[in-house]
Amino acid sequence: MQFGFGSEKDTTADPLIDPATTVLDFHARDYVTDVSFDPANLLGSDKLGISPANTKLRIAYRRNTVDTTNVSSGELNSVSDSIFQFENVTNLNSAHVNDVKESLEVSNDNPILGDVTLPTTDELKIRIYDTFASQNRAVTAQDYRSLSYKMPPNFGAVKRVNIYRDTDSFKRNLNMYVISEDANGKLETTNTTIKQNLKTWLDHSRMVNDTIDIFDAKIVNVGINFVVVGDLESSKYQIISDAISSLASSYFKKMEIGEPFFITDVYSNLNKVPGVVDTVNVVVTQRSGGLYSTTAFDLEEATSSDGRYISVPQNVIIEIKYPMDDIVGSVK
């Protein structure tokens, strides 16, 4: 909170900041200071605002106290504790009062987002390296991605981020595309609150000339149909089960926004499955409608001429939403 422009009085404290209070850890503190340190900024004053004097401030806020914050559409349908206020409740019929209380119903038409699954070991390695390079300022696109993942969890979180310069803008405008995930770990459109929090979070680190527009990334759900040649001494049913499990495990980690889908990786993965002699054919198909995304995407046009990969625009992310249903195979 900030109260007004500031005070007209002289500074009430030493205007010179002791660097030790920023770069050194002290015991018995109940808070953590910002670990970044700017040696060019060694002055401090009370000009950031003066709180009202002789005034009681009452701040009402809500917070979540559970670990799982994501809720799918329609799953929030019960009330654990409700608060009703009636005027002259003693003069009212108690049965009618209870009927009013019991008539309370809740439902969420839109999914509630804000939490994401923990990143994998490989993702952590990349993010730690990027965070070290960014130094709490955003200059490159990778800096913006790193700072987006560093947003405090109480403001929400995004699963994947991609950013590139808007070539149609005369200024240094940046287009950022984000995506979140639901309670089941499936990709879901990021809500407006999280995008606004992310924009505010990036404002303190972005370059002065940069302007950021945050958009929703488009989800394209795909499936995989494959045909393999099996070992004569192996069970066909076991080969199919192992092949589907292997592919499902490989695509459990969500892809990046704008990351191409390499069909050659599917061939390589299937050839390593025990009992598979060779992979004959792999076809990637789009899943749309119903529980899947309705994004229009031409897979045939996006597939390279040699059939090795599927190119993806900068604002699109590919997902195999239900691996055990979307991956189908047969054995010759």
Please write the tens of the pLDDT for every residue from 147-195.
888 888 888 888 899 988 877 766 678 889 999 988 788 888 888 888 9
Q: Looking at the predicted structure, is the pLDDT value of residue 129 above 80?
A: no
Q: What is the pTM of this model?
A: 0.65
The model's confidence at residue 115, banded by pLDDT at 50, 70 and 90, is: low
Burial category of 280 from C-beta neighbours within 10 Å (exposed 0-12, middle 13-18, buried 19 and up): middle
The pLDDT value recorded for residue 179 is 92
The pLDDT value recorded for residue 208 is 76
The model's confidence at residue 15, banded by pLDDT at 50, 70 and 90, is: low
The pLDDT value recorded for residue 150 is 85
The pLDDT value recorded for residue 140 is 79
Query: What whole-number distance in Å separates Cα of residue 189 and Cα of residue 113?
Result: 9
The pLDDT value recorded for residue 204 is 80
The pLDDT value recorded for residue 228 is 94
The pLDDT value recorded for residue 13 is 53
Q: Which two tokens stand for residue 208?
A: 């002065």
The pLDDT value recorded for residue 80 is 78
The model's confidence at residue 19, banded by pLDDT at 50, 70 and 90, is: low
Among the ranges given (68-82, 122-136, 212-226, 282-296), the one the predictor scored with the smallest mean pLDDT: 122-136
Among the ranges given (74-83, 108-117, 282-291), the one the predictor scored with the smallest mean pLDDT: 108-117
Contact 299, 286 (CB under 8 A): yes
Q: Looking at the predicted structure, is the pLDDT value of residue 286 above 80?
A: yes
Q: Which two tokens stand for residue 25?
A: 């850890």
The pLDDT value recorded for residue 318 is 94
Report the DSSP pairing between strands 316-319 and 309-310.
Answer: unpaired
| CB-based contacts of 261, cutoff 8 Å, min separation 6 | 222, 255, 284, 309, 310, 312, 318
